[in-house]
Amino acid sequence: MKKLKTYPNPWRPQSSKVIYDNPWLCLHEDKVINPGGGISHYGKIDFKNIAIGIIPVDEYNNTWLVGQYRYVPNCYSWEIPMGGGPLHTDPLDSAKRELREETGLTATHWQELMQLHTSNSVTNERGIVYIAKGLTEGETEFEETEDLKIEKLPLEEAFERVMTGEITDAISVAGLLKMKLSDF
């Protein structure tokens, strides 16, 4: 794969103030000198976890989606199994935990599919999507904040749901489309 050219950072931070902080994120207001030389205020969200997504695939080319009502966008969402992994933890360990918690599945074969930035204009959140194979079914371990529905379906149908707009979560869309267009 051809490596893209990178350029030096034209932003010059001057100061940073914490506006809000909780176990998942920290909101900063930064005073910066922008690329044009002017002074700007920039809101920045530092996430304390890596976003982890998993596309489980069985021997019949089925996958699992997780449905839940998402509070912030105020809508129901079908997604690949996903969650957050602490920055100091191996992301693969977090992926294994999330898959087991949300679907009851464990996997013997794991492959990283992609890394992505979820909204790089205002956050530093980084995401990793894995493919999980060699699946064994077990019991879910939902967290208190999760009211999840689980659906097993052909992988091809999950791809179609992305194309029809039924799946809109960015990590799910990116992961499923990359898988569809790759040799996985």
Q: Specify whether 24 is located in the same domain as 78.
A: no
Under 8 Å between Cβ of 67 and 96: no
Token digits of residue 53: 């997504």
The pLDDT value recorded for residue 81 is 98
Question: What is the domain-level CATH number for residue 79?
Answer: 3.90.79.10
The pLDDT value recorded for residue 166 is 97
User: Residues near 38 by Cβ (< 8 Å), separated by ≥ 6?
Assistant: none
Helices (H), 78-169: 91-103, 155-163
Q: Specify whether 137 is located in the same domain as 157.
A: yes
**pTM confidence score:** 0.91
Q: Specify whether 30 is located in the same domain as 54.
A: no
Query: Which residue in the list 137, 146, 157, 166 is annotated as catalytic?
Result: 146
Do the bridges between strand 49-56 and strand 82-86 make them parallel or antiparallel, or are there none, so unpaired? antiparallel
Domain total for the chain? 2
Token digits of residue 83: 């969650």
The pLDDT value recorded for residue 29 is 96
Please state, in angstroms and rounded to a whole number, the distance separating the CA atoms of residues 107 and 114.
Answer: 18
Q: Specify whether 175 is located in the same domain as 160.
A: yes
Q: Specify whether 18 is located in the same domain as 106.
A: no
Q: Specify whether 43 is located in the same domain as 76.
A: no
Residue 175 CA, chain-centre distance (Å), reads: 9
Residue 6, domain member (yes or no): no
Q: Specify whether 36 is located in the same domain as 59.
A: no
Residue 7, domain member (yes or no): no
Instruction: Give, as one character, the DSSP assignment of residue 7.
Output: -
Range of the domain at 32: 12-47
Q: Specify whether 39 is located in the same domain as 99.
A: no
Token digits of residue 147: 């009211």
Residue 18, domain member (yes or no): yes
The pLDDT value recorded for residue 1 is 64
Residue 35's CB is within 10 A of a number of other CB atoms, namely: 11
pLDDT, mean of each 10-residue run, the chain (184 residues)? 85 95 95 94 94 98 96 93 95 97 97 94 94 95 83 97 97 97 83
| Annotated catalytic residue 146 | yes
Residue 74 CA, chain-centre distance (Å), reads: 19
The pLDDT value recorded for residue 6 is 87
